[in-house]
Amino acid sequence: MEIRNLGKSGLRVSAIGLGCNNFGGRLALDATKAVIHKALDLGITLFDTADTYGERGGSETQMGQILGDARKRIVLATKFGMPMDDAGVKVGGSRRYIMQEVEDSLKRLRTDWIDLYQMHQTDPRTPIEESLRALDDLVRQGKVRYIGCSNFPAWQMAEAHWTARAHDLNGFVSCQDEYSLVHRKPESELMPAARRYGLGLLPYFPLASGLLTGKYRRNAALPAGTRLANTQRLADRVLTERNWQIAEQLGDFAEAAGHSMVDLAFSWLLAQDPVASVIAGATRPEQLEQNVRAGTWKLSVEELEKINMITKL
């Protein structure tokens, strides 16, 4: 397993990370245990979860029950900021909420520290300085090692960087955003800003909710039980005419090169600066084996140029 620095920080993460959003929701405890143990066996060190995953707390709770001594071997990343109740109280980036929510996450995870604590979304009600000061205190207390952001537009990521710098606070070392061969929007502003300010990018939805696995076919019924079959809103966003054309051409390209679509999707992401690790979920141990193999294809300059021609339809 390749290990990379997360941005310009000293935090080292596996090139393939484990997205833990299925734990505590789609997966029962035994199934989660099988996935976690396989990830450890394969050398995956970055485990990415959030307080909201698993129907608000389920993912962190299951991970806390399973990890045990293995917790010391991994980079444990979680997030805060999205609603943890329906009343609009447990949400956001205020000092009051951050200080409470980190304690709740630590308790669910059964650990004394979080390696990467990420603000899951921006909070329009709270100045970024207030959020950063609270997070800086957590770093100084040893409860958090590094901090990151997720779903921040480039200008707010830049604002956070300069706010931290101006006030001598710990700043974000990473950003997590949707990025894939059919969703290249981050290349216009987010990724240049991340490179400029030294943040590592952690792409989520690397397989475009399954479109880039090759298991979906145009004008055919969606496989039962899949994410796109179960979530119409997501299917409407992903299964566009443009995306179908790109996916079909990428499938032909990968097959001609003797690789799978998953190989192509992961290896292409890992070739992009400043991607540090590709976050991918799994519901079965064998999916992790496929993900790890997928990241080993070293694309040539010519191959990257061909992919660019296909994906910029």
Would you tell me how many other CB atoms lie within 10 Å of the CB of residue 28?
11
The region, left, alpha or beta by phi > 0 then psi within -120 to 50, assigned to residue 56 is left
Q: Tell me the C-alpha distance between 49 and 59, whole Å.
A: 7
Alpha helices in the chain (DSSP H): 29-42, 53-67, 95-109, 128-141, 154-166, 190-197, 227-230, 232-238, 241-256, 261-270, 285-294, 301-311
90 HSE (CA, 13 A, CB side): 14
Is 161:197 a contact under the CB 8 Å cutoff?
Answer: yes
3-class state of residue 46 by DSSP: strand
Q: Tell me the C-alpha distance between 275 and 195, whole Å.
A: 10
β-strand pairing of 12-14 with 3-5: antiparallel
Distance between start and end Cα atoms, the chain: 33
Residue keyed to tokens 């679509």: 261
Of 53, 146, 179, 216, catalytic: 53
Is 14:3 a contact under the CB 8 Å cutoff?
Answer: yes
Tell me, yes or no, if 53 is annotated catalytic.
Answer: yes
Which residues are catalytically annotated? 53
